[in-house]
Amino acid sequence: MPGPFRHILPALALWLPATAAGANPLTLCTLVTDPADHRVLLREGGACAVPVTPASTFKIALAVMGFETGILGDAHHPVLPWRAGYPAWRASWKQDTHPTRWIDESVVWYSQAITARLGADRFATLTRDLGYGNADVSGDPGADNGLTRSWIGSSLRISPEGQIDFLTRLITGRLPVSARTVALTREILEQSPQPQGWRVWGKTGAAKRPAADGQGADSQGAEGSRGAYGWFVGWAEQGLGDTTRRVIFTRLILDERGFRPGDPPGPHARDSLFADLFGTDGLLR
């Protein structure tokens, strides 16, 4: 992407009304780039420079940390047991889990097991070393929950532009990690194949929109009125070797109905982006 990303945080109240009025979910940003020459292939929405919670898209960075430090062995090791008291927002989380299943089912307690093994100091250092968003994994003020929730509607924030920057550095070998770490991270992120030979790697994410991100909770006085963010971030490749074509993408949406565990907005972001990229009239068809 030409030039450095702009690191600005306008009041969300200024750009939320400008998104497709009456539409739900609202598309806050869609950004598609070519990592070979940093061309912007598609940019839509007024929030591409606005940092928000990464939610489960942070699992990409956690996978990098886990493989690089040896906490994660490979795509299927370690298998960690489910224990009573772990977060279980979905019934599918209540079983033993390995890295591939962690990503596929977006298992929060497995993320927390990784950060617990890292410890607060190393977790903070690695997040800074990766240049991930604002790199603030302190958590909520006074709550001592940086290791368990800093990336879920809390202190850690990243913009759609920041997601593109991080992923570009990941797949072009410009993160301070080994090639093995990158290869293993790719392995657990692969999605279903798309038309015309496109292969896709990525991660969804979803979290409630904090009151600080807008006027919803203050003006309406209800938890659900804040809405919920939905992310899908990743990259796609077509071809092999020197002829490989790559694009990096991110989509951020806001579901004004709030966060509903049975219908989280992350898959909506993924499916709508797949349609826009790989559908009959898609950008990459």
Catalytic residues: 56
What residue type is 262 in one-letter code?
A: G
What are residue 284's DSSP bridge partners? none
Tell me the HSE value of 224 on the side-chain side, using a 13 A CA sphere. Answer: 5
Separation CA 14–CA 193 (nearest Å): 38
Task: For helices 160-171 and 179-189, give the axis angle rounded to 10 degrees.
Answer: 120
Helix runs in the chain, H state only: 12-15, 59-69, 99-105, 108-118, 120-129, 146-149, 160-171, 179-189, 216-220, 265-278
**Cα–Cα dist 9/92, whole Å:** 36
Tell me the C-alpha to C-alpha distance, in Å, between residue 152 and each of 79, 160, 205, 206.
24, 16, 9, 8
Q: Exposure of 219 by Cβ count < 10 A (0-12 exposed, 13-18 middle, 19+ buried)?
A: exposed
